[in-house]
Structure 1
Amino acid sequence: MTLLALSCTLIFVFITMFVSFWKKIGLEKSIAIGSIRAAVQLLAIGYVLQYIFKTESLAFILIIVLIMIAVASWNASKRGDGLKGVFWRIALTIVAMEAFMMLFLIGLKLIEPTPQYIIPLSGMTIGNAMIVAGLFTTAVKREVETSRGEIETLLSLGASGVQALQGPMKRAVKFSMIPTIDSLKTVGLVQLPGMMTGMIIAGADPVEAVRYQLLILFSHTGSAAMTSMILSMLYQKLLFTPDLRLRKIGRS
């Protein structure tokens, strides 16, 4: 794709900004800033990856993955205002998911241990875990506030913190899994996923592209479920005082 052809796609951004201005929605500034940031960030990472792919340095791969985890954890933790220690719990969970997924995929020789495979797949895994963590955190805050009376009643009757939070945590896990499950149901019928589409455009055999996409879908489903379940255990102490009273938290 030429730079001129790529520049022509900006017309979609300008149309969106014009409609926002015309209808007085007020999104034109956010759209402009978001578009500029996306272009700068993607171009920058493109040049960085080009260098890393040539050097194949393990240290550079590790640095890139750690930066991804830090940014993803910070972004997801913003949903947890009012809960101390959310960032580190999300970061620990994402690190665990990333390590498990890479060891599994490389150990079974499903992918090659090269930057071309590790970095893109790590980005997908970390990004997926970030979305699940953000949704789970939002749902937990909402469920706890909504079910405060029920939780406090259970505590007064002698239930442990784990028992009192069982219902809200289950609902939060289900809520965080909705995008992942919906994606599984509609893939191939409503949408052609990014990795599969990219491989096909690059000239790969469609069946081979489908195999890689299924690898991503199945691994992401497992990591999404484990992310929300691990967080449901790590968040329990955040919601109670040392004497087992439910903390007052605000909604996102």
Structure 2
Amino acid sequence: MDTSPYVDFLKGMVKPLLATSVVFMAVALSFVQKLGLGTEMVYAIIRAFLQLSVVGFVLQFIFSQKNAGWIVLAYLFMVSVAGYTAGQRANHVPRGKFIAGASILAGTSITMLVLVLLRVFPFTPRYIIPVAGMMVGNSMTVTGVTMKRLRDDVKTQMSLVETALALGATPRQATFEQVKRSLILALSPVIDNAKTVGLISLPGAMTGLIMGGASPIEAIQLQIVVMNMLIGASTVSSIASTYLCWPAFFTKAYQLEAKVFKQ
């Protein structure tokens, strides 16, 4: 009997294909309500199918390797894609993609290093890649929101910032309130999610373990670790992005860079 990964993959895709019936239900409802989202829904699910299929085979390959270089390569690829995506959200920030990527790299690598040194996770592909993926995805969202909100707030309150600069304030002092608001806005969903985890819905990592046969206690223990690392990585990434934004927002003479706030 052929038990190759490809045959197993095809057999395992029966249930996911059956589950697309609910997508067609959503497409039908979109058509009835004249939302115009049917085509986009079909495109999204096809793209997700292809992307996850490719990623599944790539991870299968990486997990079978003993070279730590594959872990680093996969991690840097995730950070690059996340930085590009977050930078697009903050498209009016100069070098936004680079700033987002560097911030995500800083937040997730520092958090991951702490977890590995404390032996929370072993440095193996099976642990590091999924954990890094969760942190990078969360940091991507937080960083994009932080950069966009900071730039928009400074633009809205340019007169206040310029007055503070004229009175001798540093860029950090002049934009303290704007930075504070952008960080609170970006980090609030992460904190709120930690407050309500398990009460409103069971998180993905916990649900996956329970469905995979693990005990609820084991699933809870892992989910606590996940929530902790998400808060840590998101906070470091979002704060790092504000520091990296300042050189683009101000001239060397500590004046607002007008061209950044024109649009």
Q: Distance in 1 between matches of 2:251 and 2:93?
A: 12
1:196 aligns with 2:206: yes
- Counterpart of 1:152, as a letter, is E
Q: Which moved more, 1:191-200 or 1:58-67?
A: 58-67
Shift of 1:250: 5.5
Tell me how large the CA RMSD over aligned residues is. 1.7
Q: Where does 1:39-50 land on structure 2 (aligned, <5 Å)? A: 39-50=49-60
Q: Distance in 2 between matches of 1:8 and 1:74?
A: 34
- Counterpart of 1:190, as a letter, is I
1:30 aligns with 2:1: no
Q: Which moved more, 1:95-104 or 1:117-126?
A: 95-104
For residue 91 of structure 1, give the secondary structure of its aligned residue in structure 2.
helix
Q: Distance in 1 between matches of 2:110 and 2:251?
A: 32
Count of equivalent residues: 252
Question: Where does the alignment leave 5 or more consecutive residues of structure 2 unmatched?
Answer: 1-10
For residue 64 of structure 2, give the secondary structure of its aligned residue in structure 1.
helix
1:243 aligns with 2:253: yes
Please report the TM-score for the alignment, with normalisation by the length of structure 1: 0.94
Shift of 1:239: 0.9
CA contact 1:138–1:251 (8 Å) conserved in 2: no
Q: Which moved more, 1:17-26 or 1:62-71?
A: 17-26
Q: Distance in 2 between matches of 1:173 and 1:98?
A: 17
Deviations 1:33-92 (A, max 9, x none): 111111111111101111111123222222111110100000000022222222222222
Shift of 1:6: 1.7
For the structure 1 residues 2 and 45, does the alpha-carbon distance in structure 2 shift closer, same or farther, using more than 3 Å as the test? closer
Q: Where does 1:81-230 land on structure 2 (aligned, <5 Å)? A: 81-230=91-240
Question: Where does the alignment leave 5 or more consecutive residues of structure 1 unmatched?
Answer: none
CA contact 1:142–1:251 (8 Å) conserved in 2: no
Please report the TM-score for the alignment, with normalisation by the length of structure 2: 0.90
Q: Which moved more, 1:202-211 or 1:21-30?
A: 21-30
Find the partner of 1:58 among 36, 60, 68. 68
Q: Distance in 2 between matches of 1:81 and 1:6?
A: 36
Deviations 1:94-119 (A, max 9, x none): 22223212221111111122111010
- Counterpart of 1:214, as a letter, is I
